[in-house]
Amino acid sequence: MTAGEKPLDGQVALVTGASRGIGRAIAARLGRMGARVALCSRNAQGLEAAATALRREGIEIFAQAADVTRAADVDALVRGVRAALGEIDILVNNAGIGIFGPAHELSEQDWDRILDTNLKGVFLVSRAVAPEMIRRRTGHIINISSLAGKNAFAGGGIYCASKWGLLGLTGCMAEDLRGYGIRVSAVCPGTVETDFSPHAGKDSKKMLQPDDVAHAVAMLVTQAPQSFISEVHLRPTQKP
């Protein structure tokens, strides 16, 4: 993309978990590409700070606090986006949490929190957005997964389960929706330098940055119309 180019001009993007980190970087990238961007997060204060910063860049922003694990919140969010910005062309399901430790030492509440946010949330938001995409026969749904959805590691039991499940959901959604011109893709980053989870003993200078994930999303939403990339694996050039 050259300076001044706006390949997403006129399009509307909804990014969940957009108050910080990867979500905020994705929202900024899509906005700079010309999209009108809707932000959501459970953190109302952080959400407003992100919205204010992006508006200063000249990006048209709609922000609404929402808990993606609650169907009523999701439905209200999608109605709000449509009323403020128009129909949703791009959905980035980024909201996620991580709780780490041996699965046998974690609680039922830990299980519910992780699976509800990382998996149920994607289901609820996609379900709310997909019917209008189907009617219009166009759209992108991009789910931010993780290489933890491909690789097991000690202490990652519940988190990995959520991300493996997300990849299964993404693949099936892609098959369900591709006939309507809707492309469903997953981005699977390795370790990203955010405050999402502890990175004890790792060199932050060698980690992926939120903008690296945003770059992958930008690539997905500017593909040629006759094809789609179903899954992106994103790794740092050097192991942290």
Give the active site residues.
Answer: 159
- HEC sequence for 149-161: HCCCCCCCHHHHH
Q: In sequence order, what DSSP letters do the residues of 177-199 get, joined into one string? A: HGGGTEEEEEEEE--BSSSSS--
Q: In sequence order, what DSSP letters do the residues of 95-128 get, joined into one string? A: ------S-GGGS-HHHHHHHHIIIIIHHHHHHHH
> CA 65 to CA 93: how far, in whole Å?
15
Measure CA 207 to chain center. Answer: 19
Matching residue, tokens 């690296």: 212
Task: Single out the residue of 229, 213, 160, 191 nearest to residue 25, CA to CA.
Answer: 213
> CA 15 to CA 217: how far, in whole Å?
11
Amino acid 202 reads: K
Task: Single out the residue of 17, 57, 14, 33 nearest to residue 194, CA to CA.
Answer: 17
User: Parallel, antiparallel, or unpaired: how do β-strands 139-144 and 90-93 relate?
Assistant: parallel
Residue 28: strand, helix, or coil: helix
Amino acid 23 reads: G
